[in-house]
Amino acid sequence: MSTEFPFAQTRRGALRCLAFGGAGTLFVLSGGVLAPVDLALGATKSTPMAKAGTPLFVQISDTHIGFKADANPDVAGTVKQTIDLVNAMPNKPAFIMHTGDITHLSKPEEFDRAQQLLSDLKVTELHTVPGEHDVIDGPGAEYFKRFGKASDNKGYYSFDHDGVHFVALVNVMNFKANGLGALGNDQLTWLENDLKSRSSSTPIVVFAHMPLWTIYENWGWGTGDADQAMSYLKRFGSVTVLNGHIHQIVQKVEGNITFHTARSMAYPQPAAGNGPGPGPLKVPSEQLPKLLGVTSVAIAPMPGALTLTDTTLA
């Protein structure tokens, strides 16, 4: 199932958003300003999002290969279903971005299995950022052996595609004492330099595993030094920040920056503060596919616009 609703700055847009709240996500970033999207497009489930434009990329997240507890005894199965979903898209995305927690426990055999499963994606380019579950063995270990080349083993890097500048950040290596993620000074300096030469009209998409805004501090759902990163990003007319980690969709707009977290491909987690901690959430098996899915990002018909669509397995 693919669902969308408009996400807009205007009052009119906000009201439309309320009307379709809970249906899913679609937002458009045009010329640096968030613009409301055509409602018929956003609200009609029979209109595949792919028709709204060329899919630029698909965000997948939190595959947790190696997880085998009650919340999903067949993680490989749901990951396969999600890959089938991506492969069935009528227009192939240019690349896939995995926003971390590829594995559950950073074990070599889990990475092997994950890479074997992900190789079934009919998309040639796969980008990744590590989640905290991928770097349990510390810096320079298994994740970096496999995915470190793009970043000279730093984990963070940037690239350009279709006039969009993509920045992949790591916020799971040095946690703040309160449990929030952190980027660290080296990475912040790198980010400042990476963005310095870009014109403010360049659309920016930022990836990191943990949310780059504080969703729930008690559970460490945020990044302690994200404000510093945002201070470098706020001059840009269109910034989209995509995260995983919390296994559910939460979103926010602040100025020209749109924040969005993706569903997991493995198991859901409770809403912020609901229960003793952010562990796996066991739901009836028939509900599970409705809580797992991917986010697809497309260039919308209007010039320079991006749209985001969340798609579940059922």
Cβ proximity to other proteins, 92 vs 107, nearer residue = 107
Residue 208 Cβ vs other proteins, minimum distance, rounded to whole Å: 16
Residue 133 Cβ vs other proteins, minimum distance, rounded to whole Å: 7
Cβ proximity to other proteins, 163 vs 275, nearer residue = 275
> Which of 139, 142, 42, 55 has the alpha carbon at shortest distance from 91?
55
Residue 191 Cβ vs other proteins, minimum distance, rounded to whole Å: 23
> Which of 221, 283, 261, 298 has the alpha carbon at shortest distance from 78?
283
Residue 264 Cβ vs other proteins, minimum distance, rounded to whole Å: 13
Cβ proximity to other proteins, 54 vs 218, nearer residue = 218
Cβ proximity to other proteins, 64 vs 127, nearer residue = 64
Q: Which residues contact other proteins by CB under 8 A?
A: 69-71, 104-107, 132-133, 136-138, 175-179, 218-220, 276-280
Residue 105 Cβ vs other proteins, minimum distance, rounded to whole Å: 4
Is residue 55 within 8 A of residue 93, CB to CB? The reply is: yes
Is residue 49 within 8 A of residue 6, CB to CB? The reply is: no
Residue 50 Cβ vs other proteins, minimum distance, rounded to whole Å: 35
Is residue 127 within 8 A of residue 271, CB to CB? The reply is: no
Write the burial class of residue 252 (CB in 10 Å: 0-12 exposed, 13-18 middle, 19+ buried): middle
Cβ proximity to other proteins, 74 vs 137, nearer residue = 137
Cβ proximity to other proteins, 77 vs 277, nearer residue = 277
